[in-house]
Amino acid sequence: MFLENFLAIFILSSLTGASADNCSSCVSSGNIWCVESSQCNTTFSSCQTQITVQLNCPALPKYAYDDSFMRTQQLTFASASHGDQIQKCFGNQIPTMKLFKLRAVTCSEGNANFTCRGFTAYDVTQKVIVLSFRGSSGTDQSEQLNNGFINEGIQWYPDINGNIFKDLRSLKYKYPGFELWINGHSLGGMLSWVASSYLVTTGLYKAEDIKVVTFGSPRLGDYDFAVWYTNTFLYSFHIIHRADFFARQLRIDPHTNTTVLYHPRTQIWYNNYMNETDQYEICKQADGNYCSDTVQEGLSMWDHIYYFNVNMPAWGRDGCPKDRSSYAQQ
């Protein structure tokens, strides 16, 4: 009797698919979770949103996404870091913010002309310290980044130049209770993920005191990195504008044709010009064929340059003028 019941249950469950009532336990047993029907199965004949890895089990971020905060403050930092008029940007947009130090280092073994740049700033009114990184400079540097991955695969860069972290240490010593905001556009966003990881693993900062915001940043880490980063940084948004070409780079290792790189959470996708009051999607998945990655045709370099309907490098280089209208996308 017992055995018959057991067999009946066994046969039933193998007919109806795996018995798991949530996404996490479903995918960890090697099956696929269907979001719309909340079913777990080995395959689906029709299911719109299929989840195959734990990282993508639907979840919303712990902290609210604030469009206005991104559009005013975070956009200003990530744009200012493109140019040499950082304090002027603050004067125009965030008058209480003060530039501390701008740093630049050679960040390519092959070409001393390729530099990575970042600045530190602080604001005693908002009680915040800012660390911001510039995006890649020119197509050469972007190509070098892509080619490095395509030719060499995932690489390990052991040298992180200490100067900007020295500046940060001085600021933290002077303003111990202040929150830290880390941000950047494009390559600057990748450096934000690296720097925040470095600060937390070395113990200089606690992740709960850090807010990370990136704009149009390519993937830089593997699955385990994305899981670790997602679990560590609860305030971390990476904003993607419409069909931004760079934000969709790179996922597949061409040597094996397998997916090796993943974005950490949480993606915010604006499928429009990012004008004020434009809608956005808070992506419940971390990274796969969801949200911005549902669009694979017509990827655009212009959508990479414009965020919140501002040409970030041009606006930043000009000192972030109050009137943004001449920097809008055509």
From the list 16-24, 124-132, 177-185, 262-270, the region that binds ligand NAG by CB under 6 A is 16-24
How many other CB atoms are found less than 10 A from the CB of residue 176?
7
Query: Is residue 309 involved in binding ligand NAG (CB under 6 A)?
Result: yes
Q: What is the CB-side half-sphere exposure of residue 127 using CA atoms within 13 A?
A: 5
> Whose Cβ is closer to ligand NAG: residue 111's or residue 201's?
111
Residues numbered 83-112 forming contacts with ligand NAG, rule: CB under 6 A = 111
Tell me the H-state helices in the chain. Answer: 2-15, 23-28, 67-69, 75-80, 86-93, 138-152, 163-174, 187-201, 223-232, 302-305, 312-317
CA-derived radius of gyration, the chain? 22
How many other CB atoms are found less than 10 A from the CB of residue 281?
14
> Whose Cβ is closer to ligand NAG: residue 36's or residue 224's?
36
CB of 323 to ligand NAG, least distance (A): 14
Residues numbered 23-52 forming contacts with ligand NAG, rule: CB under 6 A = 24-25, 39, 41-45
Q: Which residue has the tokens 């930043």?
A: 316
Query: Is residue 231 involved in binding ligand NAG (CB under 6 A)?
Result: no
> Whose Cβ is closer to ligand NAG: residue 79's or residue 132's?
79
> Whose Cβ is closer to ligand NAG: residue 169's or residue 255's?
255
Strand, helix or coil for residue 191: helix
Angle separating helix axes 187-201 and 138-152, nearest 10 degrees? 60
112: left (phi over 0), alpha (psi -120 to 50) or beta: alpha
From the list 21-29, 116-124, 129-137, 230-238, the region that binds ligand NAG by CB under 6 A is 21-29
> Whose Cβ is closer to ligand NAG: residue 23's or residue 213's?
23
CB of 257 to ligand NAG, least distance (A): 4
CB of 86 to ligand NAG, least distance (A): 24
Rounded CA gap, 307 and 244, in Å? 10
Tell me if 218 sits within 8 A of 150, measured CB to CB.
Answer: no
* Paired tokens of 293: 């990655």
Give the x-and-dash track for 108-147 against ligand NAG (CB under 6 A).
---x-x----------------------------------
> Whose Cβ is closer to ligand NAG: residue 172's or residue 242's?
242
Measured CA to CA in angstroms, residue 119 lies from 27, 72, 77, 101, 235 at distances of 42, 18, 9, 6, 21
Measured CA to CA in angstroms, residue 291 lies from 199, 251, 260, 269, 282 at distances of 30, 15, 19, 7, 9
CB of 178 to ligand NAG, least distance (A): 34
Give the x-and-dash track for 263-292 against ligand NAG (CB under 6 A).
----------x-x-----------------
> Whose Cβ is closer to ligand NAG: residue 161's or residue 329's?
329
> Whose Cβ is closer to ligand NAG: residue 43's or residue 68's?
43
Residues contacting 292, CB < 8 A, separation 6+: 240, 242, 244, 247, 248, 267, 269, 271, 283
Give the x-and-dash track for 180-219 against ligand NAG (CB under 6 A).
----------------------------------------
CB of 255 to ligand NAG, least distance (A): 6
Binding residues for ligand NAG (CB under 6 A):
17, 22, 24-25, 39, 41-45, 111, 113, 255, 257, 273, 275, 309, 328-329
